[in-house]
Amino acid sequence: MSSVISETARELAAQLARQFCRDTELAKRLADAQHRLERANHRLWRGVHADGLAAVYGEQADVINMTLAENRSEVLGAPDPLTALQQVQRSIRSAFTDCQTTAEERRQLAADTGETIRQLVDALVAAGWSEQQARSANVHQLALIKPATRRSN
């Protein structure tokens, strides 16, 4: 089937391609913020908490002490624990805020992308495409097609 690609459809496809790239950037930012949050949390304590060790090993102080020697808190072992704790707290707050902000940006982008997809499908269907063809169209390719050219499907 030959279908016309309107300027509107091409512009919508280009907009979708940009939105997909933006989502990739946001996903990377979110992953980075989550890693920073995890690293900050590990500075507080790496390993099993003493209460957890007691649950596993019972109240055997020698076993718990030996295990704790290998699983220490970077913050508690710092020369100035209060300063180290404040730094970790700032890192956690910053990473958490970045997670929240980026997740909200992705949510808004997802809503915008859904609306753009609906508009693109409507434009392609209006140009003679089937709903299935419109939904499975490659937006990156559509964005590059010159307006009012024929496309074979």
Q: What is the pLDDT of residue 74?
A: 79
Element (H, E) at 28: helix 7-44
Q: Where are the domains of the chain?
A: 2-46+82-152
Q: What is the pLDDT of residue 150?
A: 45
Cβ proximity of 120 and 16 under 8 Å:
yes
> What does each of the 153 residues of the chain score in pLDDT, given as a tens digit?
335 788 999 999 999 999 999 999 999 999 999 999 999 988 887 655 566 656 666 666 666 666 656 566 777 778 888 898 999 999 999 999 999 999 999 999 999 999 999 999 999 999 999 999 999 999 999 998 876 544 544
Amino acid letter for position 1: M
